[in-house]
Structure 1
Amino acid sequence: MQRKIRILIVEDEEAIRNGLMDVFVFHGYEVDCAADGREGLQKACSGIFDLVLLDVMLPGMDGFEVCNRVRAIDRDQPIIMLTARTSDDDIIQGLSLGADDYVAKPFSVAQLVLRVQAVLRRSQIGVANETRLFLGNDVEVDIANLSGRRGTEALSFTRREMDILQYLHANSQRPVSRDELLNKVWGYAKGLDMETRTVDIHIAKLRRKIEREPAAPRYLTTVRGAGYRLLTD
């Protein structure tokens, strides 16, 4: 018998925590929970969860710190952050620490389930046959090890950033729209009315890594009205 997917919910508000547990048990997941940051970190680092739903405002240790410490141990652990803080700075901080998605409260339970399903689908995608990508003569990307170099500078990527690079590289002959990236890389259904700045923030992060001048990108370019295109020469 195939094991159930295991989800850890780290949320200090009891009503929300219990409600989320009921929802995901109903959808067939095995669910555990934690009511504060330290307990959440301890459980998340056990390595037995397929996904962590992590609130930002937690007693003991906030969600940003929990995410940072989990990422130091396991760079591939799928994490979705839940928060009432929706400023760009907060979103950037969460994603910069390696969160796979960032869901604002109050949220639609149905939408949250869709986001969880999308992140879980992405986490199951194996590494493509191609093991290295090259951009010009100064950027080399090691897909399997989530690493690379730009000139003599070492680079480190999250799994999501690598998925974006791989998809753009495979379609480098044309621009790829934001909606297409949401569908193909994040796994969201086509036409889903979902507000997210995730794509834009990830593109900005990638540019800071692979471009010598992120404000005037040579490789990861914007095609006005069409999306993003990765130039390999």
Structure 2
Amino acid sequence: LIVEDEEAIRSGLMDLFVYHGYEVDYADDGRAGLDKALSGAFDLILLDVMLPGINGFEICERIREKEREQPIIMLTAKSSDEEIIQGLSLGADDYVAKPFSVAQLVLRVQAVLRRSRVVQSQQQTIALGEDVELDVLNLSARVGSRTVTFTRREMEILQYLHANAERPVSRAELLNKVWGYARDLDLETRTVDIHIAKLRRKIEQNPA
């Protein structure tokens, strides 16, 4: 599902993904995008931030209230750190800044789709120290006396870091193993840092 109000960009994206063999639906404003996102079944939602009616942030938040496993990539203004941080904090899997490389966008969509189809670990619970217990299947955790919830991407990060707890894990490794991006992909992104900061706020007592 492509949610984009600028006709030239929307048409170009639709042609691009049809060319690559995808079935594509679209919405040209926020209200239609939200309605389709909540009522349909989509492998991935490509969501612009600046939309008439309802902006992309609210749409992302509403989707996450209903479905924590839906892959979402947000389209943000290139220079707007605030948009990037807000979008990822609301649960987007990744962002692509405008103007974007068409080839890189396709690679990132393919990577997110590929990771979303990977069968997850059959281990249902994972203990992170004494105070945190992950419930992998329900995308949640007990943190002391609190219960917190995660998106699928956040849970994948925690699973990978737990499985490799005996050694340092780099940003590039997380992008490769969790997001599925090729190691040689020339990518400047704050996605990992923002996801890690959000996870620390959720599971640490003093995340500063």
Local SS of the residue matching 1:102: strand
Q: State which of 190, 194, 198 in structure 1 corresponds to 2:191.
A: 198
On the 8 A contact 2:76/2:97 being kept in 1, the answer is yes
C-alpha RMSD of matched pairs (Å): 1.0
- Write 1 or 2 for the structure with the bigger share of helix: 2
> What's the CA shift for 1:70?
1.3
Equivalent position amino acid for 1:60 in 2: G
Does residue 1:164 correspond to 2:135, yes or no? Answer: no
| Cα distance, 1:85 vs structure 2 | 5.4
Unaligned 5+ segments in structure 2 are none
Instruction: Tell me the equivalent position of 2:55.
Output: 62
Map 1:141-180 → 2, pairs under 5 A: 141-180=134-173
User: What is the deviation of 1:67?
Assistant: 0.9
Matched, 1:34 2:31: no
**Segments of 4+ in structure 1 off by > 6 A?**
none
Q: How does 1:76-87 map to 2 (within 5 A)?
A: 76-84=69-77, 86-87=79-80
Between the two proteins, what is the percent identity of the paired residues? Answer: 74
- The Cα offsets for residues 43-97 of structure 1, whole Å up to 9 and x where unpaired, read as 1112321111110000011011111111111111111101215433221210111
**1:106-155: CA deviation from partner (whole Å, max 9, x where unpaired):** 00010000110011011112220211111221111111101111110111
Q: Which deviations, in whole Å up to 9, do the C-alpha atoms of 1:8-54 show, x marking residues without a partner?
A: 11100000000000000000000111110000111111232111111
Residue 181 of structure 1 aligns with which residue? 174
Confirm whether residue 89 of structure 1 aligns to residue 82 of structure 2. Answer: yes
What is the rounded CA distance, in whole Å, between the counterparts of 1:28 and 1:136 in structure 2?
45
TM-score, normalization by structure 2: 0.97
User: Any idea what SS the aligned residue of 2:75 has?
Assistant: strand
- SS of 2:8 mapped into structure 1: helix
Distance 2:97 2:119 in 1: 29
1:112 alignment counterpart? 105
Aligned residue number for residue 130 of structure 1: 123
For these two proteins, the number of residue pairs brought into alignment is: 208
Question: 1:110 is aligned with what amino acid?
Answer: A
Asked if the contact 2:76/2:84 (under 8 Å) is kept, the reply is no
Mapped to 2, the partners of 1:190 and 1:137 lie a distance apart of 34
SS in 2 for 1:148: strand
Task: State the alpha-carbon separation in 2 of the partners of residues 33 and 81 from structure 1.
Answer: 14
Larger Rg: 1
Query: 2:146 & 2:106 partners in 1: Cα distance?
Result: 39
What's 1:45 paired with? Answer: 38
Q: How far, CA to CA, are the matches of 2:32 and 2:180 in structure 1?
A: 30
| Equivalent in the alignment of 1:226 | none
Q: What residue is the counterpart of 1:10 in the other structure?
A: 3
Query: Is 1:121 the counterpart of 2:122 in the alignment?
Result: no
Contact 2:30 2:56 (C-alpha < 8 Å) held by counterparts: yes
